[in-house]
Amino acid sequence: MLLNIAWRNIWRNKRRSLVVLSSVVVGVAAILVIDGLNNGMLNQMLYNQISSSVSHLQIHKSGYNDNKVIQSFIPESDKVEYKLQNTAGIEAYSKRVKAFGLVSSAYNSSGVYITGVIASDEKRVSNIADMMVEGSYLTDKKDEIIISKKMAEKLNVKLGSKIVVMASTLDGSPGQQLFKVTGIFETYSSTFDKSNIYIGLPDAQKLLEVGDEIYEFAVIAKNHEQIELLDSSIESGLDDRYEVLNYKVLLPMMIMQIQLTKESMMILNMIIGLALIFGIINTMLMSVFERIREFGVLMAIGLKSGRLFRMVVTEALILGIIGTIAGIAAGYLFTLPFVHYGFDFSVFAESLKSFGVGAKIYPAVSFENTISVAIMIPIIAVLGAIYPAYKAVKLQPVYAIRHV
Amino acid sequence: MSIIRTEKLEKIYQDNGVPVHALRGIDLEIKKGEYTVIAGPSGSGKTTLLNVLGALDKPTKGNVWFEDQNLADKKKAELSDFRLKKLGFIFQAYNLIPVLTALENIEFSMMLLGKSEKERHEKAMALMEELEIAELAKKRPNEMSGGQQQRVAVARAIVNNPEIVMADEPTANLDTKTGGNLLDLMEKMNAEKNITFIFSSHDQQVISRAKRLLYLRDGLIEKDS
């Protein structure tokens, strides 16, 4: 019956209740939309990094990731490859030769990361082939090079242009080779585009004079959620001459950013919660002050303080629960179309590209944050009602009954 | 045997720092089943006395004994419990809960006692029929006349079979005929259920029908007849 009274009391002043409900709905929906955009952006950044170059797992010679020297090629790479071929949970892998070098045209030059790949294998672990804006991806023919649009602009070259790639060879002497630009790509990351070029694996091995050696196995897992399992499964079959690093280790800044974003969402939740709590305190105080006489009567006929307290708090709790449910529904309804079509942030395209994100962000509201909001807002509503409820129970029935 | 008794009851209010002696040492004894009216001019202390007797207010000095319990010793929660189980209240302005129907208003006191929904409903309906207000069961206070609301208030006051019903100016907002009908009803409850009624009123109609009249002046009983 107290619940019934609390419910009816809420609707005594419909306008006031609707105003406070609207603030809760807008607050909750805003939290979810912002969370969705943040997650969407981070997911894209992560996905773009993984699918363009990092992959889910990388295997190197031990210590390579910290000190990428040309001498650190993978020892007995065929054994590693055999292990990969016989490990469950691997979708694809690609062998890479990587080095730092210089690319020069007749007009300009630029420092770059040179990646030598087998085109057919690399296509299965990287989406660079899908990012071609001119020409085509590598075809495993000799002397082919693909560069980014930004690099092409910098070097002032176009499809078919000849450019020279230089790098230090295994014995320390300078190596150089002439390549023909056969493709120009453009990824979502301007930073990546500024500093990466791709050539065929044999060309890279020839340029660096490393024979058949390779420096990296890039692995795509069937289920990246269980990457740690795959990581340890591969690692268990290899000795300490190798390092097996998953993307969480390879992208520490990215992972830290995801963590920071989660924490900043908690702060945002708290700020919005704090704003809501004052609205709820105000509404409940007004509601209590309007009913002083009624509370006096209730106490006179035997309603104990605890029950009166619960009644006031229940009203706020109901408001909080309704507002939260409606807010979650509004947040999801607003976000839903953009999950498929994306928020178009073309105006900020250049800035977003510097973060490795496309102009369209596909929001992804996290279930975890939804649950956290669904718990937090009703608690905030209850907290907001504590002071008004305290004021109610502190009333003296004898005076409250006479209140006009 | 007295159901409620006071000893040298005093109540002093502070009005902007000035002490106001509302009750100045009242000794009173009310027996079970009495139908008592406390009358007197404004400021004589009749409402204060009713509030203290009804455990809504604590005396500054003296004691209020309900049977063998001294109400002055009881804590807030104990007084709530006492009022719920032993007393019924009827107010001048009816004071029904506006969001509840007449039936629910009557059931409310029983709910506080932890009675089941079925028991509450049956007892409240039976009482409404007895008081000839059954047709009001689903109406909310704002859909009822003053007289109807006060009859519902009477039902709410007696539904838990209280020992005493305290009625503070119950007819003040009613016309003479409606007030008379209400008094008929309370006299009937007094006669049939042996409920003790204590009124505070300056309505001549109420005073004239008192079986015992306490006339207060300046915080003292001037006449007890």
* Nearest-angstrom CA–CA distance, A373 and A328: 9
- Give the phi and the psi of residue A371 in degrees, each rounded to 5: -65, -40
Q: Do B97 and A398 touch (CB under 8 A)?
A: no
Q: What secondary structure letter does DSSP report for A73?
A: P
pLDDT digits (tens, 9 = 90+) for B161-171: 899 999 998 88
Alpha helices in chain B (DSSP H): 46-53, 76-86, 102-112, 117-130, 146-158, 176-193, 204-208
Higher pLDDT, A205 or B177: A205
Higher pLDDT, A397 or A59: A59
Indicate the average pLDDT of chain B: 90
Report the pLDDT averaged over residues B69-97: 89
Q: Which of A298, A301, A309 to mutate to test the interface with B (most CBs of B within 10 A)?
A: A301
pLDDT digits (tens, 9 = 90+) for B96-135: 999 999 999 999 989 999 999 999 999 999 989 988 899 9
Residue A378 token pair = 């009703």
Q: What secondary structure letter does DSSP report for A12?
A: G
Residue A356: per-residue pLDDT = 66
Decide if A190 contacts A150 (C-beta within 8 A): yes
CATH superfamily of B34-55+76-224: P-loop containing nucleotide triphosphate hydrolases (3.40.50.300)
pLDDT digits (tens, 9 = 90+) for A208-218: 999 999 999 99
Higher pLDDT, A9 or A144: A144
- Give the phi and the psi of residue A137 in degrees, each rounded to 5: -70, 170
User: Looking at the complex, does the CB of residue A305 fall below 8 Å from at least one CB of chain B?
Assistant: yes
User: Dmax of chain A from CA atoms?
Assistant: 100
Judged by CB atoms within 8 Å, which residues 67-106 of A form the interface with B?
Answer: none
Residue B87 predicted with pLDDT over 80: yes
Higher pLDDT, A114 or B203: A114
What's the gap in Å between the CA of A4 and the closest CA on chain B? 9
| Edge-to-edge order in the sheet of strand B61-66 | B18-31, B2-15, B61-66, B69-70
Q: Do B99 and A299 touch (CB under 8 A)?
A: no
DSSP for B127-153? Answer: HHHHTT-GGGTT--GGGS-HHHHHHHH
**b/e A357-376 (16+ beta carbons within 10 angstroms → b):** bbbbbbbbbbeebbebbeeb
Decide if B28 contacts B221 (C-beta within 8 A): yes
Residue A137: per-residue pLDDT = 96
A174-185/A162-168 β-pairing: antiparallel
Residue B55 token pair = 């455990």
Q: Do A293 and B56 touch (CB under 8 A)?
A: no
A116 — pLDDT class (breaks 50, 70, 90):
very high
CA angle A268, A35, A262 (to 5 degrees): 65
Indicate the residue of A1, A293, A396 with minimum beta-carbon distance to B111. A1
Contact residues, chain A, for B97 at CB < 8 Å: 5, 294, 297-298
User: Looking at the complex, does the CB of residue A404 fall below 8 Å from at least one CB of chain B?
Assistant: no
* Nearest-angstrom CA–CA distance, A313 and B62: 38
Residue B50 predicted with pLDDT over 80: yes
Alpha helices in A342-366 (DSSP H): 349-354
Report the pLDDT averaged over residues B33-52: 91
B8 half-sphere exposure, CB direction, 13 A CA radius: 2
Indicate the residue of A2, A293, A302 with minimum beta-carbon distance to B80. A302
* The dihedral sign for the CA sequence A333, A339, A340, A345: positive
A174-185/A242-246 β-pairing: unpaired
Which residue, among B190, B188, B198, has the nearest Cα to B165 in the 3D structure?
B198
Contact residues, chain B, for A303 at CB < 8 Å: 80, 112
- The contacts of residue A280 (CB under 8 Å, 6+ apart) are A20, A24, A316, A319, A320, A380, A381, A384, A385
Residue A159: per-residue pLDDT = 95
Indicate the residue of A301, A305, A307 with minimum beta-carbon distance to B83. A301
What's the gap in Å between the CA of B110 and the closest CA on chain A? 10
Report chain B's C-alpha Rg in angstroms: 17
* Nearest-angstrom CA–CA distance, A245 and A228: 9
Q: What secondary structure letter does DSSP report for A54?
A: I
Q: Which of B80, B96, B120 to mutate to test the interface with A (most CBs of A within 10 A)?
A: B80
Could you tell me which residues of chain B have a Cβ less than 8 Å from any Cβ in chain A?
51, 54, 56-57, 76-77, 80-81, 83-85, 88-89, 91, 95, 97-100, 104, 107-109, 111-112, 156
What's the gap in Å between the CA of A390 and the closest CA on chain B? 15
Decide if B158 contacts B165 (C-beta within 8 A): yes
Residue of B nearest to A394 (CA): B76
* Nearest-angstrom CA–CA distance, B176 and A242: 103
- The one-letter amino acid at A41: M
Residue A265 token pair = 């969402």
Domain boundaries, chain B: 34-55+76-224
Residue A279 predicted with pLDDT over 90: no
Residue A134: per-residue pLDDT = 95
Q: Do A301 and B85 touch (CB under 8 A)?
A: no
B109 half-sphere exposure, CB direction, 13 A CA radius: 31
Question: What pairs with residue A115 in β-bridges?
Answer: A98, A198
Domain boundaries, chain A: 2-49+254-400, 63-239
Question: What pairs with residue A110 in β-bridges?
Answer: A103
Q: Do B91 and A401 touch (CB under 8 A)?
A: yes
Report the pLDDT averaged over residues B182-211: 89
Report the pLDDT averaged over residues A266-292: 89
Contact residues, chain B, for A397 at CB < 8 Å: 56
Indicate the residue of B57, B99, B107 with minimum beta-carbon distance to A12. B99
Contact residues, chain A, for B57 at CB < 8 Å: 396, 398
CA angle A274, A278, A281 (to 5 degrees): 130
Residue A368 predicted with pLDDT over 90: no
Decide if B13 contacts B20 (C-beta within 8 A): yes
Residue of A nearest to B82 (CA): A302
**Whether the model pTM is above 0.90:** no
**b/e B108-144 (16+ beta carbons within 10 angstroms → b):** bbbbbeebeeeebbebbeebbeebebeebbebbbeeb
User: Looking at the complex, does the CB of residue A398 fall below 8 Å from at least one CB of chain B?
Assistant: yes
pLDDT digits (tens, 9 = 90+) for A323-357: 999 999 999 999 998 888 888 877 777 777 766 67
Residue B31 predicted with pLDDT over 70: yes
Contact residues, chain A, for B111 at CB < 8 Å: 1-2
Indicate the average pLDDT of chain A: 91
Inter-chain contacts counted by CB atoms under 8 A, chains A and B: 61
Residue A43 predicted with pLDDT over 90: no
Residue of A nearest to B48 (CA): A398
Report the pLDDT averaged over residues A45-61: 91
